Amino acid sequence: MQKLLISVVGCATLALYACSGIPRQEQEIVYRSSILEDLPFVYKLTVQQGNVLNQDMVNQLQPEMNKRQVRFVLGTPLLIDVFHENRWDYLTLETRGRQTLEKKRLTLYFNNDQLTRIEGDFKPEPGAARQGPGREAVVEVPDYRSDEGLFAKTLRTVGLEPAE
């Protein structure tokens, strides 16, 4: 009887220890096409996924805009839930290699086909929609010698001008 009691207490102790709050490290399965990916000189492509959003686009949103007007300003939403047709989700994700650089979301709520609420990382700035995109950009293009080859550039860098 005593052996049975000791074995029951021992099993219960082991079971409680196994279920204790000791955190386990979950292993993430990572697809690696090559072992060379982790080398510092390997170029890692920047990938942008989802919707392209910026503050100027969000500033154009006005309360009581209909869904068609919002789609014109922001584009088609990434997620339209079948069960919540009055909620649109715009998501943008920018990654380089396996590193997440930027992750933003914008959620729009509609009532009777009119915009009622905006949530997420972008907020419309008051008064910015009235000003409009009246900014002007001046771009200066540097001189470019399109007919100059590698040999001519090397001679010019050394100080010897090529014969023309």
Residues 46/18, Cβ–Cβ less than 8 Å = no
Residues 62/115, Cβ–Cβ less than 8 Å = yes
User: Which domain covers residue 89, as residue numbers?
Assistant: 48-133
Cα–Cα dist 93/105, whole Å: 9
Cα–Cα dist 112/65, whole Å: 11
Residues 86/110, Cβ–Cβ less than 8 Å = yes
Q: Would you state the pLDDT for residue 11?
A: 73
Does 142 fall in a domain? no
Cα–Cα dist 136/10, whole Å: 78
Mean pLDDT of the chain: 79
Cα–Cα dist 79/88, whole Å: 6
Q: Would you state the pLDDT for residue 25?
A: 54
Residues 121/135, Cβ–Cβ less than 8 Å = no
Nearest CA to 121 out of 89, 161, 84 is that of 89
Q: Would you state the pLDDT for residue 144?
A: 66
How many domains are there within the chain?
1
Does 102 fall in a domain? yes
* pLDDT over 60 at 23, yes or no: no
Q: Say which residues have a Cβ less than 8 Å from residue 152's Cβ, sequence separation at least 6.
A: 162
Tens of pLDDT, residues 58-104: 999 988 899 999 999 999 998 888 888 899 999 999 888 778 888 99
Does 158 fall in a domain? no
Does 111 fall in a domain? yes
Does 110 fall in a domain? yes
Tens of pLDDT, residues 28-49: 566 666 677 777 777 788 888 8
Cα–Cα dist 28/139, whole Å: 46
The predicted model scores a pTM of 0.54
Does 155 fall in a domain? no
Does 147 fall in a domain? no
Please give the helix or strand (H or E) that residue 116 lies within, else none: strand 114-120
Q: Would you state the pLDDT for residue 90?
A: 92
Please give the helix or strand (H or E) that residue 9 lies within, else none: helix 2-18
* CATH code where residue 73 lies: 3.30.1450
